[in-house]
Amino acid sequence: GTTRPQVSIVIVGHVDHGKSTLVGRLLHETGSLPDGKLEMLKAVSARRGMPFEWSFLLDALQTERDQGITIDTTQIRFRTRSRDVVLIDAPGHAEFLRNMITGAAQADGAVLIIDALEGVRDQTRRHGYLLHLLGVKQVAVVVNKMDRVDFSAERFGAIRDEISAHLTGLGLAPTAVIPISARDGDGVAERTPKIDWYDGPVVVEAIDALQPARPLDELALRLPVQAIYKFDDRRIVAGRIESGGLSAGDEIVIMPAGKIANIRSVEGWPSSPTGAQGAGRSVGITLDRELFVERGDVIAHVGSAPRDTRRIRARIFWLHEQPLAAGASILLRLGNKETRAVVVAIEKAVDPGELSSAETKAIARNHVGEIDISLAQPLAADPYVDNPRTGRLVIEVNGRIAGGGLVLSVDAGQRAVP
């Protein structure tokens, strides 16, 4: 069959506003639960004399995943009409941030949940702010527990206006604001008479309308060089294609040096009859001339090469107990390249637990910041908006990962880029 677009989403919101309940409902309404699972859990709850909670379902699935019982041991998935949806776990604040910013998990969109009775809380606003910091561009808002406010259109309207103003101020206008009762299922997969005054999409439709990230194959070629092997007089340049694709005969440029060559041959695992290879493949290529290539270089097509730079602005998440301050000496890893670097300036330091971006001069542990970095050696880098695979960096201090983040911008180097 045809491949369905996949979207990764994260569900965020103030604790107790109904995230687990919504997830349970979504799995149920989209027919994504194992047969009999729900009935079994309801029976167990009844036997124990406790009311059934949708969050039990998540706990049960989590336990099975931990024990390796279910086949898909990593992620919760469900299908909407036209999308395969992967739900990224957002267990704790710090973990979620770290996973998002280091690329372990990357959300195409988010669902922000708000309890209709409690309304927009500080944590709600913070989550909106974090989504913005992390570069998430699509957010659907759900106003949950509408049953607790008698499905009042007025109450809903007030919350919708407040959260819309906040998100729009961050450049993150919501794709939809949806009144629901996750516990009872109103507005999750189906419109119900209780919310007949609302004519926007239900949650499943809003998720279905999220745009997936552009496939990596469609981006410009980026082959970070992992190693160079010598066989007799042949030199094979090996690495994993992070984006784009290549084939024999292509004219390429080796960055940051800017030297040009043609690809003579391509070995891929598995090999392809045409010699063409795409994103995600490990390849070995030979070139038509002898050029100096080393680990950490990036191979790209002429005309769409990354910039060579000695200066990078980045948005990072900091993990080290020692706060990061201007003047700090760090080791920067970007793709397969490592170089010493110095933090020239801290331009922003934000405590995700507070809303204010206080005028601090250092980025404390578990805080987010924007920094200006000067590199000891030039390297090839892409801004994150251009390439989510190669626009990420990791910072090490004393041999330990101390932070990581997104490349915001790159100062062009001296070299004329082909």
Say how far apart CA 257 and CA 242 lie, in whole Å: 20
Q: Which is nearer to ligand GDP, 114 or 381 (CB)?
A: 114
Q: Read off φ and ψ for residue 121, nearest 5 degrees.
A: -110, 170
Q: Judged by CB, which is closer to ligand GDP: 17, or 28?
A: 17
Minimum CB–partner distance for residue 116 and ligand GDP (Å): 8
Q: How far is the CB of 119 from ligand GDP (least distance, A)?
A: 15
CA 341 to CA 331: how far, in whole Å?
6
Instruction: List C-alpha distances in Å: 104 to 107, 125, 285.
Output: 10, 24, 28
Report the residue number, 191 or 259, with the smaller CB distance to ligand GDP. Answer: 191
Q: What is the phi-psi region of residue 59: left when phi exceeds 0, alpha when psi lies from -120 to 50, beta otherwise?
A: alpha
The one-letter amino acid at 127: H
* Least Å from the CB of residue 21 to ligand GDP: 3
CA distance 8 to 6: 7
Residue 41 Cβ vs ligand GDP, minimum distance, rounded to whole Å? 14
Give the nearer residue to ligand GDP in terms of CB position, either 24 or 403.
Answer: 24
> Given the rule CB under 6 A, which residues bind ligand GDP?
13, 15-21, 53, 55, 144-145, 147-148, 181-183
Between 76 and 293, whose beta carbon lies closer to ligand GDP? 76
State in angstroms the smallest separation of the CB of 180 from ligand GDP: 7
Number of neighbours of residue 90 by Cβ within 10 angstroms: 20
Query: For tokens 């990596």, what's the residue?
Result: 216
Closer to ligand GDP by CB, 111 or 332: give it: 111
Q: How far is CA 315 from CA 8, 278, 318, 327, 387, in A?
A: 22, 29, 10, 17, 15
Can you list the positions of beta strands (E) in 97-248?
109-115, 138-144, 176-179, 223-231, 234-240, 245-246
Which residue lies nearer to ligand GDP by CB, 102 or 144?
A: 144
Q: CB 13 → ligand GDP: shortest distance, Å?
A: 6
Q: Least CB distance from residue 19 to ligand GDP, whole Å? A: 3
- Please state, in angstroms and as integers, the Cα–Cα distance from residue 175 to each residue in 148, 155, 208, following that order: 25, 20, 11
